[in-house]
Amino acid sequence: MITDKLTIFGDREDVTNICDLLSKCGCHLESEAKDTVLYVSEVPDNTAYPESVCVVLPHELRERVSGGRITTYSEKDSNADVTLLNLQKRETAFCFEVLCGASMSRVFVPYGKGYTCLQVLAGISVLCAWGVSALDAVSKINSILK
């Protein structure tokens, strides 16, 4: 299972929903799941990882981690590797743009699916850390969430 190589630090709802989303994506995307640690909110100071581990965390907490292959995400800061932009609440869904490098794509999350912006953004960031293009990750997530 794709989430066997993933350790998530966050509250129970975040962990459950991100694992669920990534599991649904995993059987449909060509990705190389690597040993990965995902931080959803807090990161202990001076946390070190070997270079073989992917570490995905909020951009503003980047300085707390050393080593590892770092991928950052943010709901505010466009300096992150993966950034949420232009959040909109529509009649049947909320949507936002995902900026990753030079690519930008839009995610649509229907109300009632139970996912938050942060959970979807973190899931996309993990997929990007595993080598999936942001465009492919967003496309797959959109198809899953329809």
Angle between the N-to-C axes of helices 117-129 and 134-145, in degrees from 0 to 180, rounded to the nearest 10: 140
User: Which pTM value belongs to this model?
Assistant: 0.92
Q: What is the pLDDT of residue 23?
A: 87
Strand ranges across the sheet with 93-100: 6-9, 36-39, 47-58, 65-74, 82-89, 93-100, 103-110
Q: What is the pLDDT of residue 143?
A: 92
Amino acid at 118: L
User: Mean of the pLDDT values across residues 39-64?
Assistant: 93
Q: Which tokens in the block code for residue 113? A: 């699916």
Asked whether the predicted pLDDT for residue 29 surpasses 90, the reply is no
Closest Cα to residue 117, out of 70, 85, 143, 81? 85
Partner residues linked to 95 by β-bridges:
88, 108
Query: How many Å apart are CA 117 and CA 68, to the nearest integer?
Result: 25
User: Mean of the pLDDT values across residues 107-135?
Assistant: 93
Q: What is the pLDDT of residue 2?
A: 62
Asked whether the predicted pLDDT for residue 28 surpasses 60, the reply is no
Query: How many Å apart are CA 1 and CA 96, to the nearest integer?
Result: 28
User: Mean of the pLDDT values across residues 49-53?
Assistant: 93
Mean pLDDT across the chain, nearest whole number? 90
Residue 31's contacts (CB-CB under 8 Å, 6 or more residues apart) are: 2, 127, 130, 131, 132
Asked whether the predicted pLDDT for residue 109 surpasses 90, the reply is yes
Query: How many Å apart are CA 127 and CA 107, to the nearest integer?
Result: 14
User: Mean of the pLDDT values across residues 105-115?
Assistant: 93
Q: What is the pLDDT of residue 5?
A: 80
